[in-house]
Structure 1
């Protein structure tokens, strides 16, 4: 069922209130906050490749506090085991039965810090839960909850001793972006507030509100011409000479779902070509595998996607029904 105009306006107003609230904890990064929020509404997950101290933990905590949800932080290290993420069953001698001890993955917002420092086996445990939305241990399947957002981080420096995420695993993240350092004005505000106690953000809505927003986002209208535009952009990534592996169907679906939430956050009941152009880089660039020669020449996936957006003509219609 297509989202009604008044529902789109409510969605946009609520989305703006949430973004304003979260931005109190991460100053000067409105666009990143909106991207992560739109991903959460789209039932996706986020990969942040960023330097230490840019506010990744603060962002995850602020989202959880704003929606009155649970949050957890998993510090990925080489000795971290899959059971440390998902939980384990322990035999209780008094009861004479096995008892499940849930892991930190059972939270509405999970920060997986420095995911590339854990072994591939542990990475796979997290990524499987991201895909399935539940944990199966000893034949028993347990849902992790709804909403469920994983914000994984990678440190672009100090790569010694790390385990790079395989391309197939990167494809499970709806977007890849970075927070970056704040500008001078935001930095000054942070420094001026260092002497003040920083209380937890009060809850603004409940988790049910985010679930309702997810349901509404699925009703945003996508014109067949927009789907055709997404298909042509994705196909262009597969035919680019610098690319060894282009965007998968999963990537095209992710861009479609994200654009629907993005349109609703702008108070529209339909997706426009501009929505696709705004989201293509964070939604598609990390899915490309470049030819070694292109990487040696300094070509990046972001440059390739940006050029494709210039080369592939967008529909002239605005996307409305």
Structure 2
């Protein structure tokens, strides 16, 4: 474990510190991937000071397989280190057939969290998120379930993901009244998707919650991956979380402008995009995926130059405007 490789940032007004760059296991930890390759990624993560691993009950494919893979590796490679890393998972997703197989009812959330713990081989997770809001379940019931998970020892902290600013403020107030503060919100955020700046970040600051963002590289658009066309083995070519029609001339023009700016800073486009997302102190951590140890190491190198000048920020905004990218 290398705690010197990157900075750790406080999650809201809690006592929990998270690395600036964390590892998301949304991609590349399902079945069909060599276990040794996944083990190499996790080992590299620890070498890079990544102590925070983000999962969900649905991650795979198939459903649940990312948790199973992480649990199998952790049982051997992380034996005796449970107090040194943070495991987050999420519930609310469709996981099995029938009326209780999805949603944010107390019944489903308790069942899916217990199944996650079994797959992970853990007595508790550090953070349990509601993966999305559920308009059909009273918010009071959702908050009560989260409070129960902490009081029963299944989770140390709780958070929400993909909640609107208003609903985030509401559930934060409910949780506070129950004595279980909202630790964190997990939204999408990148140079191509900046909507959390409008209101959500202000709400999180006011309620004392942290912000762990996913897709800071916009599913690979904010890299040099597509500058010379769509590779046959890319997500866009496969239509996997990214489609070819999203690789627009406007986006490519913006990324080319970012590449020029990144070069002056001695960074890649991806490193610049991560540094930009971390420029706001209200953002606790950015989640990155990795197909291999080398990619993970390259992404973490973003922390070597996090500071962005006023002129650089203005140049980024101007490049977006001139490229016609809606942000």
Verify same fold: TM over 0.5. Answer: no
Higher Rg of the two aligned structures: 1
- TM-score, normalised to structure 2, is 0.30
- TM-score, normalised to structure 1, is 0.30
